A and B are shown apart, each in its own frame.
Chain A
Amino acid sequence: MTTFSTVQSIEQAWDQRRRSQTDEPRQVTERRERSVRKILADGLPTTRHEEWKYTSLRPLLEKGFVLNGSVKSNAVHPDVDRLVQSKKQAYSLVLVFIDGCLDQDLSDKSALAAIGFKTLSQAESEYDADWWDAWQSAPGMTGLFAAMNAGFARNGAVFKIKKNQIVDKPLHILHIATPGSSSEVSATRLVFALEDGAKLRVVEEFIAIGSTTSGWSNGLTQFKLGALADCGYYRIVSAPDLFHTGSVSVVLDRGSCFETFSLLAGCRLARVNVDVKYTAPDAECIINGLYLTRHNEHVDHHTCVDHQVGYCRTHQLYKGILNDESRAVFNGKIFIRKDAQKTEAYQTSKNLLLSKAAEIDAKPQLEIDADDVKASHGAAIGSVDPLELFYLQSRCIGRAEAMAMLCRGFADDVVMRLKDDSAKRLLNARVADWFAQEVRRAGASS
């Protein structure tokens, strides 16, 4: 067995993989092996592990996804072309993965070359070991799914944005799951190295063709920002039957700015880890998220921001709206280390429960070893304020509509904080889609 089911089956998958992959440079294979060995040594976590207290891997393990899938997609689906073309109209920089496999024909090859694009395998064979070791020791890389990706992912891309290069147009990365490949893991790894003063915006979107297309995507997205670099990263997952695990790892140098947003608006089971580390003063990270859940969806955000040096600022706001029997987990950690004086870190988690059976588990955590810091965190869980609801109703608005209005307002509040306008528009549209589905559902059931 070479599936993601047990420690043994992962080991078998790795052995098979090592034997079949003969064209890969030795040191690349060794590096991958270290990641896999780490997983084998740790074992697969159960809910007794503090990091997995509220999310069980069982549904994923039971599915038994095949770890060594095809390198090239042979999916032919009429909708793929149409979908990609519609994106291209909005963005000129599009990179497409079909079922986890890079599709260069659909992507904007020439434009991508200008931002130092290389495929993962090209980059692995070209860049030296030190370069890759640095990515390997980035924060969050020892997490289960980051390590799985680092061990097994064959598809992906590496970008090098040169010093002071300003990339005007957002790079839109599309991960499309097609109905044909629901038994394999699609693991893609993206690496963004922004040199000093560079600017880039990235949208990474996970979608499925066909409303019941299931599958598992395990993405790893890494950023390293040079001094004064400026980067926006917006992650969207909207594929109701998809298993989704994602690891985002960010390293920030002096004076750099990183803005990120994670929108989970539909997925069977999702676990997204975001790990940020400051390595020099004056950097800033805005780390926001929104999860919208229904049916029996289960979404889990784990964020960890590590202030190792002083004078950096973190602003974090995660919001969630939960309907039906869905369940969400928010686990936000902020470390302020001993030398990180004058740090400012604010973290908030707010959640609306729309149904009796929905469940939220929030764990906002602060660990502070420095004394001269400004730090606070807060969490609020509740339903729509009956007074607000009543107020709208007394102004002639029907209950359902009033509810929708208040929920939308709740969600918009976090989307509207985004600094980047194009990202704001895109995320807003996705949020609107989700609410439109809610209205249709309400209409259908009444």
Chain B
Amino acid sequence: MAEIVKESLTDREYKYGFETQIETEFFPKGLSEDIVNLIADKRNDPPFVREFRIKAYRHWLTLKEPTWADVSYAPVDFQEIRYYSAPKSKKGGEGPKSLDEIDPELLETFNKLGIPLSEQKRLTGVAIDAVFDSVSVGTTHQEELAAAGVIFCSLTEAIQNHPEIVEKYLGSVVPYKDNYYAALNSAVFTDGSFVFIPKGVRCPLDLSTYFRINARETGQFERTLIVAEEGSYVSYLEGCTAPMRDENQLHAAVVELVALEKAEIKYSTVQNWYAGDKEGKGGIYNFVTKRGICQGAHSKISWTQVETGSAITWKYPSVILKGDHSAGEFYSVALTNNKMQADTGTKMIHIGKNTSSRIISKGISCDDSRNTYRGQVKIFPSAENARNFSQCDSMLVGDRCTANTHPYLEVKNDSAIVEHEATTSKISADQIFYMKSRGIDEEGAVSLLLHGFCKDVFKTLPLEFSVEAVKLLEMKLEGSVG
């Protein structure tokens, strides 16, 4: 009886914490040049990809793990991680040819996560690529997208079927030398999504990738590449969950976005990796490099993120504003509770003339968590009339949590206007009581306050995502207020 109660309680705290029992193919633990080659073999990488991996691996060996972020954790033992793990295909050999061939266990897993993949049940209006551990297990709505000329598939498929595009852009925004985790990812990346929107096409569907870590002791190193050609538009959504485990798991992804002239990419994330338990045991280390380049004039990239999970988050979705009149946006809600630590923010690098950027960051810290905004706005001498506005607000719930704000404003052009504002507030028991005495229950009161605090970010999310995000935040906040 006690067990059942306990289980239902934990379930409530993190409802995606289940584990799928499925036959899995593993690589041995540890990292070496052999393992890197083995990954390349396994995936049948063409020479340019293999070379990219090897160069990255050798460079990674020369680097030290960064320590500047405002987080503390036991050092990661890179030899204790498996760098490849994939559900075994029942039919042996190749992966599933169509969605109907996917292992029913996997379909069921994604069903449970609210992501139906089978053709009958698939969501309308959204094409989904589902990534399970190291590999993509299927992508919906392929034909509809193909008709529009849009390529949306796993990066593995793209490497095989569109090597010329991948070769042109892979590592062009986040070079393998960029940082420690980017180098690691470049060496061992396994799967991820690939999106190509041809010239003048407005992608008819929202594209979405759902990432699921399942296997034990496995790192997830996905790599996503989105290229939007001249005048095109795409909205891309990403969601993530993982089972609850006592040990920490590493997730070191790289996302690269390229927007050519007048193209627009909207990239939204709801991140809900397992964050560890109340004592801070377990959870995902989320060390991610996300960067977009506004290559062409009048292009636009906007990042929206709702970060509610991971034991440790280290993530700065950035925009390089190279094209004249290009625009970058970053909207973020980051909630930390229990013993979570998040060091997140953005970089807006202004190079082109008349470039503009906007940063809205809302941090909510509860319990014993640490929530840090770290953002850089850099105006190069070439960036005439650059504009930036940043608003970074923190909300504290309880008196044991920490909220930090570290903006870096670097301006090398006198025609720039750069403004940064930051405030701190709290959800107080008084506010909750006041609303209760007007007939609104606690849940409603917290929800109102959350909406009020985060509305500038929520309104940039696609509707169904925004509803999900609010629910997620409310669930996490429950029990912290009062």
Contacts and interface: CB of A to CB of B under 8 A. Distances in A.
A354 B415 CA distance: 9
Contacts of A357: 381, 412
Contacts of B400: 338
Interface string B295-317: 00000000000000000000000
B406 A378 contact: no
A267 interface: no
A384 to B, nearest CB: 9
A437 B397 CA distance: 53
Given A373-B424, A380-B418, A360 B411 contact: yes
Nearest to B376: A363
B423 interface: yes
Nearest to A381: B418
Given A341-B399, A371-B397, A379 B420 contact: yes
B68 interface: yes
Contacts, number: 114
Interface string A377-400: 111111100000000000000000
A366 B409 contact: no
Nearest to B379: A381
B402 A367 contact: yes
Contacts of B426: 371-372
A63 to B, nearest CB: 26
B414 A366 contact: no
A376 B423 contact: yes
A376 B401 contact: no
A219 to B, nearest CB: 28
Chain A interface mostly? strand
A373 B402 CA distance: 12
A359 interface: yes
Nearest to B414: A353
B410 A359 contact: yes
A369 B176 CA distance: 37
Contacts of A364: 405, 407, 420, 422
B336 to A, nearest CB: 13
B48 interface: no
B89 to A, nearest CB: 48
A358 B424 contact: no
Interface string A328-365: 00000000001001000000000101111111111111
Given A353-B416, A374-B424, A375-B424, A368 B411 contact: no
Given A356-B381, A359-B412, A368-B424, A379 B401 contact: no
Nearest to B423: A376
A62 interface: no
Interface string B65-79: 000100000000000
A306 to B, nearest CB: 14
A401 B410 CA distance: 29
Nearest to B424: A375
Interface in A183-205: none
B414 A383 contact: yes
A379 B404 contact: no
A54 B410 CA distance: 9
B330 to A, nearest CB: 17
Nearest to A365: B406
A133 interface: no
Nearest to A378: B421
- Which of B400, B401, B414 gathers most chain A CB within 10 Å? B414
Nearest to A323: B414
Given A365-B404, A380-B418, A371 B409 contact: no
A366 B408 contact: no
Contacts of A369: 401-402
A54 to B, nearest CB: 8
B399 A365 contact: no
Contacts of A371: 396-399, 401, 426
Contact of A365 (B405, B415, B418, B428): B405
B419 interface: yes
B413 interface: yes
Given A360-B411, A372-B426, A382 B405 contact: no
A338 B409 contact: no
A361 B409 contact: yes
A332 B424 CA distance: 17
Interface in B425-476: 426, 428
B422 A377 contact: yes
B182 to A, nearest CB: 18
Contacts of A367: 402-405
Contacts of A380: 417-420
A312 to B, nearest CB: 16
A375 B424 CA distance: 6
Interface string B373-410: 00000000100000000000010111111111111111
A341 B396 CA distance: 12
A382 B418 contact: yes
Contacts of A376: 421-424
B401 A365 contact: no
Contacts of A338: 399-400
B409 A379 contact: yes
Contact of A366 (B397, B415, B424): B424
A368 B428 CA distance: 16
A356 B404 contact: no
A112 interface: no
A370 interface: yes
B417 A368 contact: no
Nearest to A337: B402
Contacts of A381: 409, 411, 416-419
A368 B415 contact: no
A42 interface: no
B422 A359 contact: no
A126 interface: no
Given A357-B381, A360-B411, A371-B399, A366 B416 contact: no
B49 to A, nearest CB: 32
B391 to A, nearest CB: 10
- Which of A54, A341, A361 gathers most chain B CB within 10 Å? A361
B405 A360 contact: no
Contact of B422 (A351, A354, A366, A370): A366
Contacts of B418: 379-382
B423 A359 contact: no
A351 B407 CA distance: 15
Interface string A23-55: 000000000000000000000000000100010
Given A356-B414, A378-B419, A378-B422, 13 more contacts: A50-B68, A354-B414, A355-B414, A359-B410, A360-B411, A362-B411, A364-B420, A365-B407, A367-B403, A367-B405, A368-B424, A376-B422, A383-B414
19 contacts: A354-B414, A355-B414, A356-B415, A359-B411, A359-B412, A366-B403, A366-B422, A368-B402, A368-B404, A371-B397, A371-B401, A372-B399, A374-B424, A377-B421, A378-B419, A379-B419, A380-B419, A382-B417, A382-B419
Q: Across the A-B interface, give the 4 residue pairs with the lowest CB-CB distance, nearest first.
A: A353-B414, A371-B396, A382-B417, A381-B418
